[in-house]
Amino acid sequence: MNLLQLEYFQEVAKVSSITQAAKVLDISQSALSIMMNKLEAEIGYPLFEKQGRNIVITPYGKTVLHYSYILLHEMEDIQREFRELRGEENEWKLTLGVTDSNYYGDWILNLMNDYPDLQLNVLQMSREEIYENLLLGKLDFGISNGMEYYEQLDSQLLFSQPYQLLVLKDHPMAKKGSITMEEMVQEPVLSLPPSHKNRLIDNLSAAMHFRPNIVFEGNADIMEQMFHVGIGSILTCAHNRGQWMRGPREDYALLDIVGTSARYEMYLVWSKNRYRTRCARMFQDYVFDYYHV
């Protein structure tokens, strides 16, 4: 097994066709075929199956594909670490997976200003996808609401705050400053669409076993517009409320949700096995500094 084989194998698996993959990789089809046959022979299991004119990856192929990412990223890690050992610089480039794409915190803007050479690639995904991609080496960091234990992952809680309901100041409950779970069931709320993974409203309703009265589901811009004309309120927490506000804080009220201990928790997550470049260490320090952790 060599690493070039694995790289080519990834491409073949991606497009499910030797012909297509050969085009992308710019090598001859027969050379690629021979290479894949050799890889199969070395691994000792069939990696692809012919199905009509196409090829389909086998369960064995899927296993090899999974590990190919780990192995290739580990090789890349060796190069990164030795580049720094030689006193050279790695690319200032980080790939982040975030559960809440609407939440960046001010620090991301500050970070980009402080490090103009930094290339940030921010991808929205579910918690599970963050874990998976960190383990495969496809992400440098994850910023995740909630964290499960994984042996190969490390994490740091950035903040933990109770869920709160953001309302306009003329909302009937604004003066009271709180809302009960019974009232929460009736309260019209706005939310991101269900396709958005790890929605706050789902987290809270799962924790409290209630069915929320969602009057609108859609993207953040429209949510914000609807919110300001009083169509519904928005579940958030103190840290994140800023993204929904247009005017000064006095125009809004944050209601405590009585009777729930569910909290909004944000974690920075990374793989224990990956080499952290100077850029990654800077990023980590920057985030920790910002959150005073």
Residues that bind another protein (CB under 8 A): 1-3, 43-45, 59-60, 63-64, 66-67, 70-71, 74-75, 77-79, 81-82, 85-86, 273, 275
Q: 């290479």: which residue's tokens?
A: 35
Q: Please check whether residue 229 is in contact with residue 167, taking contact to mean a CB–CB distance below 8 angstroms.
A: no
**Residue 47 CB, nearest distance to another protein (Å)?**
10
**Residue 23 CB, nearest distance to another protein (Å)?**
27
Q: Please check whether residue 163 is in contact with residue 265, taking contact to mean a CB–CB distance below 8 angstroms.
A: no
| Separation between Cα atoms, residue 241 and residue 227, nearest integer Å | 12
| Separation between Cα atoms, residue 136 and residue 3, nearest integer Å | 15
Residue whose CB is less far from another protein, 62 or 169: 62
Task: Output the six-digit token pair for 130.
Answer: 């963050």
Residue whose CB is less far from another protein, 77 or 202: 77
**Residue 71 CB, nearest distance to another protein (Å)?**
6
Q: Please check whether residue 121 is in contact with residue 94, taking contact to mean a CB–CB distance below 8 angstroms.
A: yes
**Residue 288 CB, nearest distance to another protein (Å)?**
24
Residue whose CB is less far from another protein, 81 or 224: 81
Q: Count the neighbouring beta carbons within 10 Å of the beta carbon of residue 102.
A: 17
Residue whose CB is less far from another protein, 76 or 217: 76
Question: How distant, in Å, are the alpha carbons of 141, 179, 266, 275, 279 from that of 77?
Answer: 15, 50, 27, 6, 13
**Residue 10 CB, nearest distance to another protein (Å)?**
14
Nearest one of 108, 147, 128, 6 to 65, comparing CA atoms? 6
**Residue 22 CB, nearest distance to another protein (Å)?**
23
Residue whose CB is less far from another protein, 59 or 247: 59
Q: 């209630």: which residue's tokens?
A: 210
Task: Output the six-digit token pair for 119.
Answer: 């290339």
Residue whose CB is less far from another protein, 11 or 74: 74
